[in-house]
Structure 1
């Protein structure tokens, strides 16, 4: 275990550096420990573990995956009170697991990573933080996740509005909403949770909707005392319940693969909307015009009934501008406001939130240049010309039907196997071959064809240019099968100069990137 020096010592050497202390970073740390790799550090920009569950504590915040599935398979819990856990239970679970596996001593809080540069000669990464610390590491793991940078709209006059403005991920619980005139901008996963909660408190609530969302009913049942006793007394029942949740979720992938089945689901959901929304005009505005599953499917029993309230208005006209006292829509109508809540989600495209982040690999390659067309990575984990760098929840590994924790565990196991291989082969680094990346991207692109994700709508799964970079377009068990073993033929194992005659400091031959033009050709197949 590395004994961390005092903050005055600026350079520290570790075997593994991890960026992010959310579900991904914590899982990675535990898997490393289980493999006997204890010389690691987690660099976390916040002041506590938890990531998105530390930051998102707005009213009604909860998970849209079942509690027993939204947890690690190796650390199941009997403490869940509901089928779908609220944010505070998930955050407490993360803290409990952190304590159970004694991970906290390896975490450096308030250390946002601002630079990571690979040294061709030594095979090491130099990782720097905004707090002035520098880490030299052999292996570098990005576990920051895609939901940590709030997306804030650029609307004329917003900075001139004199009332309260807050993003859902930066909720100010000291601000009193009772009796206030409030505007909620956005109708995504956060808004459908907090809007029903604040509607009874406020004087008037204007919900600004750009695109209607498909919303399915939510199982709000609490676990009975007997169920919790059973989960606590017989841990195997937790595992069995988890697997039932897994296969229930996995069955939802078939309508995604077959838009005809999705249309059957649309028929029943339209009946659900008609049952819950009384006004036919309002009902039409709340009914999506795109294929079920093309955008993220949301779950709520409270969303649609909220619009039956007299103090709630659904606004579908575009916003023209803010004034110091309210919002003016394009029809010229002004609505006076005390508070604006931005339910506008997160910046998911890493090319945007990593714009100022220096990430430099072999031969001067930068992630900004190599991802010019679209973010991409082999299995969503490794990228050519970025040796010993690994990603959790990277490109092509997001889900629309099951738990991302399942994917994280598969990725963490795969990364540990890569690290073991580097040591077993007495190499300095492992680097995925460009042709392996090209092949994988082609497979993903082909698999997306014919799915609901390719049915024409725009979503946060895509780049601004319309390339779907976020979604894994197959079943999760297929991903688990593909990551169980490292295909050594898809990688180069390299010793740095001075250790092996004939190998240059740039890593020898075969280091050409999959350039922007090649990526574009594959994406257009």
Structure 2
């Protein structure tokens, strides 16, 4: 049988495409499950302690019964950027409602050792130019990102009205007063002229539905609630000295585990890394940023230029220069280079897809070869190889993860796509073998494929009693991903039905925040009490979106994961989870022109 890496001709690609595709299909098929997203547990009832905040004590306070101009749900990047842009526009009466104990969103919760952004700091960290902060390294670690969130909150006065350790339970439109009524789990019942939703996709932890998960007698926690009291160490990477005599299992080998495992390998007496599907792990090449270099590029408007350059390098019309030079831009430029090699008369959709696949095959062969170069044990190396396209699952980049498996005491437990069989009082069972451990760490990620209102934790009730879950029952319908007909004065800050730029989500939020601030400024100048998108404008926008070809991330033939709804056939609603057909760069330009024109076509101000 032909091996996937066999070369057919000396001049051709150094792989057998059919053999690779066959291997990809086999690896996908063994991981397909009929239960899809239902394989995961919603954390509640007897598992609710996995949601406890280990970082900040809850402070008792009086319930709020007042009125604010703008109430925003979510204290992560979306809320911070929108709040900052509103403050710049003179709207200072902003109340951010956040279930965590501080600003930060996913960076408040994810303080596991080694946590860092996997998109370059210069474009990932918001409002760097406005705050005057220079990232310390190309890929900043979690403490620095959290500090930037706090810096934004302080500089723009967002702490003044913030409600932490607070969750919204109801949000209802009051048509008589043209305002929203917000009720929370802390007894608050206040009103707001406008509301914003920035709940994000990475804040509701999930657990694997492993039989016996509640029976384990040792210690356990989710990576987004890292228990440093148990492990020792700290988010800055200090040695977790309390694990020196501990046997630890970490379940999951996605992006979180890739970053945390090197720190665990240094600390644990024994570490079992339990894998269902290996991640693709490319070179990270992180490095400190040079202050002199930063000073030379940090001229007025520098971050906007960098954001636009990165986005251009993610699309079909690549910029001549690559300012960011990271794994994401390299991926896009590689694909583009393959496509431009095609003769003009061969530039068909089929040939373009073939060029994309060839580029991906070559890159994934490099990534698999890297495993062999680094990992000493042959069997372990084989099990760490990812057999799927790079964009089937979240691409990972790290320079210590693979090396961790050369550490004495660190062992990969590969489940051959099956996952953990069961959990006992003493440990985990894989393939009929029980591995006794003192601690289980769940690196099982977050709810992504569940309904928007489930992840938000509540349903919005708009005009005439319309629920958001009802409005979106057959699929998401918006204009720009921001406005929803039937929900006046409400703004949604997220990528879908806008740019849908996945490789640098903060760029989506930055543009949405600026747009919302411009709209509210316009409404205040007109003395308008209500802002709403017309049904016609919303329908036209959705129809435009559906003319696109979708995206190349997480197709049904990929190995299961959150990029492709765990391999399940997408329902009819999924077709609406798309972005602007001309791409992210064109969308951001369109949105900027739309908001600066002053007409705000499609919106009614009354």
Mapped pair 1:196 → 2:262: yes
| Maintained 8 Å contact 1:146/1:350 | no
Q: 1:48 aligns with which of 102, 113, 124?
A: 102
- Mapped to 2, the partners of 1:218 and 1:251 lie a distance apart of 12
Mapped pair 1:231 → 2:294: yes
- Mapped to 2, the partners of 1:237 and 1:212 lie a distance apart of 43
Per the TM alignment, residue 166 of structure 1 is displaced from its structure 2 partner at its CA by 0.6
Per the TM alignment, residue 361 of structure 1 is displaced from its structure 2 partner at its CA by 1.1
Per the TM alignment, residue 290 of structure 1 is displaced from its structure 2 partner at its CA by 2.0
Q: 1:85 aligns with which of 119, 140, 143?
A: 140
Mapped pair 1:59 → 2:96: no
**What TM-score do the two structures reach when normalised by structure 1?**
0.83
Q: Which runs of 5+ in 2 are unaligned?
A: 1-59, 231-241, 312-321, 337-352
Q: 1:337 aligns with which of 413, 434, 437?
A: 437
Q: How does 1:415-434 map to 2 (within 5 A)?
A: 415-434=516-535
- Mapped to 2, the partners of 1:364 and 1:95 lie a distance apart of 37
Name 2:53's counterpart in structure 1. Answer: none
Mapped pair 1:127 → 2:152: no
Deviates more, 1:342-351 or 1:474-483: 474-483
- The SS at the match of 1:105 is coil
Per the TM alignment, residue 212 of structure 1 is displaced from its structure 2 partner at its CA by 1.9
Per the TM alignment, residue 294 of structure 1 is displaced from its structure 2 partner at its CA by 2.2
Per the TM alignment, residue 89 of structure 1 is displaced from its structure 2 partner at its CA by 1.0
- Mapped to 1, the partners of 2:276 and 2:117 lie a distance apart of 23
- Mapped to 2, the partners of 1:235 and 1:368 lie a distance apart of 44
Name 2:479's counterpart in structure 1. Answer: 378
- Mapped to 2, the partners of 1:397 and 1:178 lie a distance apart of 48
* Cα pair distance change 1:78/1:490, threshold 3 Å: closer
- Mapped to 1, the partners of 2:111 and 2:209 lie a distance apart of 24
- The SS at the match of 1:206 is strand
Q: Which runs of 5+ in 1 are unaligned?
A: 1-5, 496-525
Per the TM alignment, residue 169 of structure 1 is displaced from its structure 2 partner at its CA by 0.4
Mapped pair 1:307 → 2:405: yes
1:334-386 Cα shifts (integer Å, max 9, x gaps): 11111110101111234363475131112222122333344453322222222
| Maintained 8 Å contact 2:453/2:459 | no
- The SS at the match of 2:244 is coil
- The SS at the match of 1:125 is strand
1:124-155 Cα shifts (integer Å, max 9, x gaps): 11111111112211211012222111112222
Q: How does 1:498-517 map to 2 (within 5 A)?
A: none
Per the TM alignment, residue 29 of structure 1 is displaced from its structure 2 partner at its CA by 1.0
- Mapped to 2, the partners of 1:388 and 1:315 lie a distance apart of 52
Aligned CA RMSD, in angstroms, stands at 3.0
Name 1:510's counterpart in structure 2. Answer: none
- Mapped to 1, the partners of 2:211 and 2:365 lie a distance apart of 39
**What TM-score do the two structures reach when normalised by structure 2?**
0.73
Name 1:515's counterpart in structure 2. Answer: none
- The SS at the match of 2:66 is strand
1:92-113 Cα shifts (integer Å, max 9, x gaps): 1222222222322132222221
Higher helix share: 2
Deviates more, 1:396-405 or 1:337-346: 396-405
Mapped pair 1:476 → 2:584: yes
Q: 2:158 aligns with which of 85, 88, 103?
A: 103
Name 2:81's counterpart in structure 1. Answer: 27
| Maintained 8 Å contact 1:291/1:452 | no
